[in-house]
Every structure is written in C-alpha cells, then in structure tokens.
Chain A
C-alpha cells in the first residue's frame, strides 16, 4: 500500500502544529557548573566513574581543542558561539543508573511516549499493536538518551542472547573497557576537527554497539536523542563495531524543545566494519529548527565517519535532515578494505531561515572500492542549503568507482541551493561520475495536482516525497513513513 497517503492522513491528524516535539519536560536535573575547562572535564569523568585512561584521553582532546579554531569554510553564518556560556553536563537526577524501565522517572517515560518512542518492550514483544493482516513488524531495540544520559535501553536480553552488545557508551566503558579503548577515536581521532575535539573532551553519553563475528543483529537498533535542559550542549558519542561477516542496522532520531536561544549539538559517530561486515546507519534528524524568523534552534555540528576496514565490508549512511537551525555534517566512509562499499543517501530540507551545509566524504584507499552518493536537497522559505562532498581516489585504489547524483529542488524564489563537489582522483584506472540537477516545483505541477483535488500542502508533500524517493526507500520501513511525514511538516507554509 502506498505509504504516502497514510502519511498524509497522519499529518492531517496532527493539525497545523509546526513543531510538535517542542514541549519541555520538567525533571530535576543535575548540572555541572557553566563553562568549559579542565575542571569541567574532570567532573564529567568522575561523575561517570571513568578510568584514568579515558580522563587522559579527554584532557588530550581538550588540549587539542584549545589550539583549534572553529571552521569557517561551510556556507553557514551565525553569531559567534560562547563556549563558556553553556552547561556541558546535565543529567536527570537519579542516583544509580536505572536497572529497568520501572526505575526510570515516569516523567521521562511520558516524554518518550510523547515522542512516539516505543519504550515498552512488553507490548512490542507481544506484538499486540500489529493489526491483523499486516506483517508482523520487526521489533526494534531502543536506547534513549536524555540530555547527557542514556536512560533506558530495551531488548538487551534478546540482543545478549545473540551476542550483540547494545548499551550506553558510559556502561561500555565500565563493562567492556578493552573494546572501547581499542576503537574509541580510531576513526575520528581526538584532534580531527574543532567540533570532534570538543566532543571528545566533554562527551557524556551515547550508544555503543558491538556485533561479534558472523552475527546478523536480530533487530533494528535505534537511539533517540533528546535535548531538554536549557543552555545545555549535547555531545553524544556513538561507537559501532561490526566484526567479520556480521551486520547491523541502526537508526537515530533527534528532537528538542522549542527555545529562543541556540543550543549546540556536537556529536561524533564512529563506525568500524570488518571483513564482509555491513553497517546501515540511518538518521532522522529533527532538532528544533528555530522559528520562522530564525530565532532559536539547534546548531547541529556533527562528525560521522565509518571505516570499512575489512575486505568487502559495507557502510551505508542514510539521512533525512529536516531540523536544526544550522546543520554541518558530512557522514563519510573510509574505504580501506579491498572491494569495500560506501553509500550515502541524503535528504536535506531547509525552510524559513534554516541553513544546511551537508554532504559526504568517500575516501577510496583499497582496490575495487565502490561508492554511491545520492543527495537530495530541498530549500524553501529564506533558507540556504549546500551539498558539499568529497570523492578522493588514492593511487592504490585501482578499479575504484564512484557515482554521485545531487539534485536540488527549490520552493519559492527566496531560497538558495548550492552544490560543491570536490573530486580528487589519483588513479587513472578509477571511474568517477557526477550528475547534478536543480529544479523548482513548477506552477504547472501545482495546478495539475490541485485540479485533481489536492490541497497545496498535499501537492507539495507528494511532489517532494517523489523527489526524495530514491533516498527514502533506503530507510527501514517504519522510519520511511515517519520521514515522509516529517518532510511534509517541515515544508508547511512554504507555498502560497
């Protein structure tokens, strides 16, 4: 059944709310003092009862960060960020970490319920919500990160039986220190870039996934990130390691309350894929984008990188970026293993005063490595969106292939779309293709749809979803519907 119609039906039920995740939850919080210095870092480290090596690692990152400057090459503009005027640690007040859902603050659970996150695994396990005739859905394991702390991870038992580790990274540091120590910072080194260094110094939580040799993770893994506290930066750290012949599909979703001030989100995601391993990493990013005049919203400065270390390994990034005042993010693949494959499927929507500078880097090191980039950019209102991508073929990458397709769709005449592809090829036996198009939703298309009875919003939704189809079909089923819905909501009021 076509999902778009269902989607629209759901949207209609939502009414005209432009950002329905904008609520704030009143929970007692434990803050570290404002500002960033070695003491803050020591405090975070001690709150989390971290080993000395990790504290040293953080301090090294902090030292590197202090020598670095905020990058200015992206096509975004914002007032200077005062890094001393933010909280770097905020956790829901609670002594020890919750052992089970029953121990989680009910207020928190209600928050996640509002977000539509199926935390209650019993109901899901029982499958009670699956209507007759519909295929039984694959259960999804969820890790929920609230401000700085992971509050609940579901399905851990089922996963453990398969040998899969899925837990907050702070727990992984305690329970699997060797794994964490071996891989943390091995894909994104502490001094990689300004925001990655900042994250390394102050990251507070995030998800950790380890899939052992030969195991196909039995269910989708998912993390929901929520910024709730005021003046708080969120710096989560995700590390996913997939051993030989193993595979995992992972999804992250993000929301935040509506606030007048800008909040910083600087995450780091590291993926490691060994021989014949495959990682599918999907993102539905819906941080608060600010109001129509550009007041408030999240600064989303994120470093995501995957290393295809083993032969024939595969890393696939799919992202639907509808939120954030500013998005600065380039999920990348280092294609080291022979015949390894990197994919990047992206939909970036900007409306009102949003700015996005996003794309990918495909670094071809090994022979016969392949990469595919499909980037769909939709700009509306006064927004500005840039695709920035690098395809680098190193001298030894004989037989490497890349295909890049960048399509921009403009809605209205006040917005901008830009495509900045960098191609560096040092191997004559490699093949690199780049295609780009820019189009507008034409008045003819709008009139045609409306003549058939569709409202303007529905028509835009249909056309935009059609434009993004190649990317949306890469998302796990459950999230494809959510993503379509989001696209339409994000573009509300963009026509007429």
Chain B
C-alpha cells in the first residue's frame, strides 16, 4: 500500500438550503507517487467536491473516512498548510482578485509556500527570472503578469494562469478540476505540457476531466470512473477511450 495519497471511505456533505446533502459516499482511492490518475464521470457525481475536500474548502463537512497524504492526516490541515505540503488545486473557475497584481500574488504565494517548506524566499530579481522562464516554457505572454489576478482574463487565459501558478508552486500533488473545459487545442496542449513538465517520481496528479483529448496528451497511469459519490470502476488509460465511445451508462448501472 502506497503512503503517498490514500483516500479511504470518504464521506462528505454540504449544507444545501439548510438541509445537509451527502455528496461523497465512500470514496476509496490510492495514488502512488509519480503517477497521473484521471477521474471521469457524469455531472453531479462528486468529482469537483472531491477536489474541494482534498484542498480543504470549509463548506464541505467530512462525516467519515480518512485522507492521508505523505503520511500526514490531510483532513486535519488548514488549506494553506495543505498547499505548503504540496497540494495544488487548479480551479475549474479561477477566482478574480480585483486590484491584486498577478505577479505580486504569485510571488507572495511562492514565498509563503517556500517559507513553510523551509526554503529561502525568492527576492524580486530571482522571482522575476523564475517566472519569466516559466511563462516562456508555457508560451505565455509576460503581459499577463502585469494584470490583476484573473480579472478580465478570457477562459483560456485563466486556465493558463492556473498552470503558471502550478508550475511556480512546485506541488507534489496537482489536482486539475476540469482545467481542460472550454479550451482550444493549443491551450489544452499548454495545460498538458504544464503537467508533463512536472512529472517526476515524486509528483502525482489527479486529473478530473470529461474529455479524452487531454488524457491523450497526459497518458494517465490509471483512469477512474466516479458516479454517485463513489469510485465505481478503475482501469488503465484504455478506459478513457472506452468511455469516449460508450459513455457512462454501463458504469452507472454497475453503481446502482
């Protein structure tokens, strides 16, 4: 059994208009170090909720189950502690921060995480060097750094910005929540390149997607199907191709 990411019997609910609504109903998932796993599944199956719960969003109440990450109890940690420990969530809908300069935000985040990890902080010059290298690698324009965080960004620019943040924060677990949705082929490629560039024996990714195409670029080690708050089926990369052709119907029947 791997001790990298181990999700066991995870139940979580959210308060929906005063009544608790259970969304995760016993998720079991193990991701060993160095692997890319994909989660696919119909809308409302709990994929995004799983990513939020892993990142520590407070709206969700974990009612039972456990998540251990590199031997630590992930659920006991604050969101910023999880970030420092190496968890990165690429948001499905990145949030706008009016008036907050993108480069400044990035540098603040990078240094907060470096501080927490016991690394020396980057000064302005070193930061600029690193970030320029990163934007170049991701074929992004530096102009994006001068704007306010996600404000007035197109859908594609927001996603690229997420990938830039991911690149700079050097996570050991990247969770991509439908980062590919609404992207054209070139942007998709950038996202995939961003993940692939981080691939190493100590980096894993959990990729939530509806589309085969991103997985073509990522070549995941495992593909899981999520339905009704549970992982109902797991397989290799070929599973995604199967779903692309057949849809989820057969797995839903399995889960019922």
Residues in A lying within 8 Å of B, measured CB to CB: 1-2, 4-5, 8, 442-445, 447-456, 458, 462-463, 465-470
Q: How far is the CB of B234 from chain A (nearest CB, A)?
A: 27
CB<8 Å pairs between A and B, sample of 15: A2-B101, A445-B97, A450-B80, A451-B80, A451-B88, A452-B112, A452-B165, A454-B108, A454-B109, A455-B80, A455-B112, A462-B97, A462-B108, A465-B100, A468-B99
A449, A452, A455, A465 interface centre (most CB from chain B within 10 Å):
A452
B59 touches A443 (CB 8 A): yes
Q: Which residues of B contact A445 (CB under 8 A)?
A: 95-97
Set B55, B95, B105: member contacting A462, Cβ < 8 A: B105
**From residue A9, how far is it (CB to closest CB) to chain B in Å?**
8
B79 touches A462 (CB 8 A): no
- In the complex, what distance in Å separates the CA atom of A470 from the CA atom of B100? 11
Inter-chain contact B104/A4, CB cutoff 8 Å: yes
Given contacts A5-B111, A8-B108, A453-B84, contact A448 B56 (CB under 8 A): no
Q: Note all chain A residues with C-beta closer than 8 A to B100.
A: 462-463, 465-466
Among B79, B82, B104, contact of A5 (Cβ-Cβ < 8 Å): B104
> A451 touches which one: B83, B99, B108, B148 (CB < 8 A)?
B83
Residues of B within 8 A of A448 (CB): 91, 94-95, 97
Residue ranges of B at the interface with A (Cβ–Cβ < 8 Å): 55-59, 78-80, 82-84, 88-89, 91, 94-101, 103-105, 107-113, 116, 124, 148, 165, 169
Task: Find out whether the CB atom of B103 lies under 8 angstroms from the CB atom of A2.
Answer: yes
Which among A5, A447, A469 is the interface contact of B108 at CB below 8 angstroms? Answer: A5
Residues from chain B with a CB closer than 8 A to the CB of A453 are 80, 83-84, 109-110, 112-113, 116, 169
Q: Which residue of A lies closest to B91 (CB)?
A: A448
A444 to B97, CA, bound (A): 10
Residues of B close to A4: CB separation below 8 A: 101, 104, 108
Q: Chain B: interface secondary structure? A: helix
Please name all residues of chain A whose beta carbon is closer than 8 Å to the beta carbon of B94 when the two chains form the complex: 448
**B residues within 8 A CB of A469?**
99
The answer to whether A451 and B89 touch (CB under 8 A), given A4-B104, A5-B104, is: yes
* Alpha-carbon gap, A468 to B91, bound state (A): 26
> Which of A444, A452, A453, A470 has the most CB atoms of chain B within a 10 A radius of its CB?
A453
CA distance A462 to B99 in the complex (A): 9
Chain B residue contacts of A468, Cβ below 8 A:
99
Residue of A nearest to B80 (CB): A450
Query: Which of chain B's residues have a CB closer than 8 A to the CB of A444?
Result: 95
Alpha-carbon distance between A5 and B101 when the two chains are bound, in angstroms? 11
Cβ of A8: which chain B residues have Cβ within 8 Å of it?
108
B88 CB contacts on chain A under 8 angstroms? 451
A378 to chain B, nearest CB (A): 12
Instruction: Tell me, rounded to whole Å, the shortest Cβ–Cβ distance linking A488 to chain B.
Output: 12
Whole-angstrom CA separation of A1 from B108 in the bound complex: 12
Q: Which residues of B contact A452 (CB under 8 A)?
A: 83, 105, 109, 112-113, 165, 169
Residue of B nearest to A461 (CB): B108
A439 to chain B: closest residue by CB: B98
Residues of B within 8 A of A2 (CB): 101, 103-104, 107, 124
A344 to chain B, nearest CB (A): 19
- How far apart are the CA atoms of A448 and B96 in the complex, in Å? 9
Bound CA span A450–B105, Å = 12
B56 x A466 contact (CB < 8 A): no
**How far is A64 from B84 in the complex, measured between Cα atoms in Å?**
64
- Name which residue of chain B comes closest to A459, CB basis: B80
**4 A-B pairs with the lowest CB-CB distances in the bound complex, closest first:** A466-B99, A2-B104, A466-B100, A453-B113
A1–B124 alpha-carbon span in the complex (Å): 6
CB neighbours of A442 from chain B (8 A):
95
In the complex, what's the smallest C-beta–C-beta distance from A449 to chain B, in angstroms?
Answer: 8
Q: Are B112 and A458 in contact (CB under 8 A)?
A: yes
Residues of A within 8 A of B116 (CB): 453
Contact call B169/A466, Cβ cutoff below 8 A = no
